[in-house]
Structures are given as structure tokens and as C-alpha cells.
């Protein structure tokens, strides 16, 4: 009897889990459609969009640049001894450039933005929901989805790819510093070797992927904040849930993007 009860409890818990997951995905899909509709529906909140883009970029650029610098330095220092053994140390700039532009830069920057930006959006909108500012906007005739949500989602969609480029650029600087710890190489030669190995399929798919990262980082943060309850603890829960879900979405999107790129290139 105990075995049957444990089995029934396990089945019930599994059903509840899948119900919660699918309901949450359905509500997110509806929320996404409503937000996208605000992109093309007046009023257009240009000032708020520019302000949000500035805040997001200004708060994140230092951390992203420092992370890119360290990643480029670490990649160079890790691979240099091995490449020197084979006498192909001249490939280091290209290796770092391809690694950062194609995969490491977008994913690492996306995770940083998920932790910093998505949680901030979730907490901010959650606090507005708790203090009934969202309801006050609706009563006063202001569209909260347009003013609060759509502007933040658009801002992250635009700024995350720019932050990725900052990370890639500083990773090359870090790699240049790493190379010159062991031998002397001019900056011009380093950059030439780096960009000679970069191709169309290294930059364009990664840029498109970064745009999608930015969209979902902003969207999930706004969704979790918008779904926050009335208690003050729900603000922290919204921020925490935004980080977890945005980070998970980055890995899923990255996997799908790699599969599509491989199919298109025939690899």
C-alpha cells in the first residue's frame, strides 16, 4: 500500500509540475504577443526607450568590458603553451577572435545581462505592481505595457548586441596583452591575424543570436515582474525567477541557433 501511495504521489507531483510549466509557457506566449503588438501601436514612448537604453548600457558596459578583457586574456594564456609546441602560435589571435565572436562573447555577455538586467527589470516592475503603480497607470489612461514593458524589452533587444560587441572588442585587447606576455607582437599584426580568420558565418549568426538574447532577457524580466503578487517578498521572487529563466532561455536559444547555423552551412 505504501508503495502505491508513493507512486501515486510521484505521478501527481509530476502532473502538477508539467501543468505549471505548460500554463506558464502559455501565459508567456500571450504576454509576448501583447508586448509585440505594443511595438507597432501608438503611443510610441521614444523618450522612455532612449532612457532605458542609456540606463541598461551605462550600468552594464563596465562589467561586460572587464569580463571580455579577462576572457580574452585567459583564453590566450591557456592555449599559448599548446600552440607553441606545434609552432602555430600565430593562430592565437584568430582562435580567440573566432571563439569570442561566434560563441563565448554572446553567451557570457547574455548571462551577465540575464543576471544584472533581467533581475533589475523583474524587481522594478514587481515593485511597481506591489505599490499599485501599474493599476494607477491604467486608471490614468497610460498604457503600462507600452510605457513600462515594451520600452524595456526594446531597449534590451538593442543594447545587448552592442554590449556583445564591446565584450568581443575588449577580448581582443585582452588577448593582445596575453600574447605580449610571452613574446612581442605588434598591435597591427595581431589585429590582422585576428580578422583574417573571421568570416561572415562567424559574425552574422552571432549578432542575430545576440538580438534574440536581448529580446528574451527583457521579456522574461518584464513578464516575471508583471506576474508578481501583492506581497513584498514577491519582488525578490520575481527577480530571482527572472534570472533563472532568462539564463535557461539563453542556453536553449544558443543550442537552437547552433543547430540552425550548422544546417545552413552544411556542417
Average pLDDT over residues 158-187: 91
Q: What is the pLDDT of residues 37-82, one digit of tens each?
A: 888 887 778 898 999 999 998 888 999 999 999 999 999 998 888 8
The CA distance from 216 to 188, in Å, is 37
Q: In this predicted structure, what is the pLDDT of residue 209?
A: 93
pLDDT at residue number 166: 93
pLDDT at 39: 84
Across the chain, mean pLDDT equals 85
Highest mean pLDDT (candidates 76-80, 166-170, 193-197, 258-262): 166-170
Among 33-42, 56-65, 188-197, 201-210, whose mean pLDDT is lowest? 33-42
pLDDT score for 42: 79
pLDDT score, position 5 = 57
| Residue in 209, 204, 202, 198 with CA at minimum distance from that of residue 106 | 209
pLDDT above 70: percentage of residues in the chain: 91
What is the pLDDT averaged over residues 136-148? Answer: 80
Q: Find how far residue 29's CA is from the centre of its chain.
A: 19
The ranges assigned to domains in the chain are 1-41, 45-265
Kindly state the average pLDDT of the residues 234-261.
89
Render pLDDT for 75-129 as a digit per residue (tens, 0 to 9): 999 888 888 787 777 888 889 999 999 999 999 999 999 988 998 998 888 888 8
CA 9-241-18 angle, 5° bins: 30
Per-residue pLDDT band for 267 (boundaries 50, 70, 90) equals low
Its pTM surpasses 0.85: yes
* pLDDT of 1 strictly over 50: no
pLDDT for 16 equals 55
**Residue that wins the pLDDT comparison between 4 and 237:** 237
Amino acid at each position: 500500500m505504501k508503495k502505491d501511495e508513493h507512486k501515486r504521489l510521484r505521478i501527481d507531483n509530476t502532473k502538477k509540475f508539467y501543468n505549471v510549466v505548460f500554463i506558464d509557457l502559455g501565459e508567456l506566449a500571450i504576454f509576448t504577443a501583447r508586448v509585440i503588438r505594443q511595438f507597432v501601436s501608438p503611443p510610441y514612448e521614444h523618450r522612455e526607450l532612449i532612457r532605458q537604453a542609456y540606463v541598461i548600457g551605462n550600468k552594464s558596459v563596465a562589467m561586460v568590458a572587464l569580463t571580455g578583457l579577462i576572457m580574452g586574456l585567459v583564453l590566450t594564456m591557456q592555449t599559448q603553451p599548446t600552440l607553441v609546441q606545434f609552432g602555430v602560435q600565430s593562430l592565437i589571435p584568430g582562435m580567440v577572435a573566432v571563439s569570442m565572436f561566434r560563441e563565448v562573447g554572446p553567451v557570457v555577455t547574455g548571462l551577465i545581462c540575464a543576471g544584472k538586467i533581467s533581475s533589475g527589470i523583474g524587481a522594478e516592475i514587481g515593485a511597481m505592481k506591489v505599490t499599485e503603480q501599474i493599476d494607477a497607470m491604467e486608471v490614468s489612461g497610460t498604457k503600462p505595457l507600452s510605457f513600462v514593458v515594451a520600452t524595456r524589452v526594446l531597449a534590451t533587444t538593442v543594447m545587448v548586441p552592442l554590449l556583445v560587441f564591446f565584450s568581443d572588442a575588449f577580448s581582443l585587447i585582452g588577448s593582445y596583452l596575453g600574447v605580449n606576455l610571452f613574446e612581442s607582437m605588434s598591435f597591427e599584426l595581431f589585429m590582422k591575424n585576428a580578422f583574417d580568420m573571421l568570416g561572415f558565418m562567424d559574425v552574422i549568426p552571432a549578432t542575430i543570436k545576440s538580438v534574440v538574447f536581448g529580446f528574451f532577457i527583457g521579456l522574461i524580466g518584464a513578464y516575471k515582474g508583471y506576474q508578481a503578487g501583492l506581497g513584498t517578498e514577491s519582488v525578490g521572487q520575481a527577480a530571482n525567477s527572472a534570472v533563472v529563466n532568462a539564463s535557461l532561455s539563453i542556453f536553449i536559444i544558443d543550442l537552437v541557433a547552433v543547430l540552425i547555423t550548422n544546417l545552413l552551412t552544411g556542417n
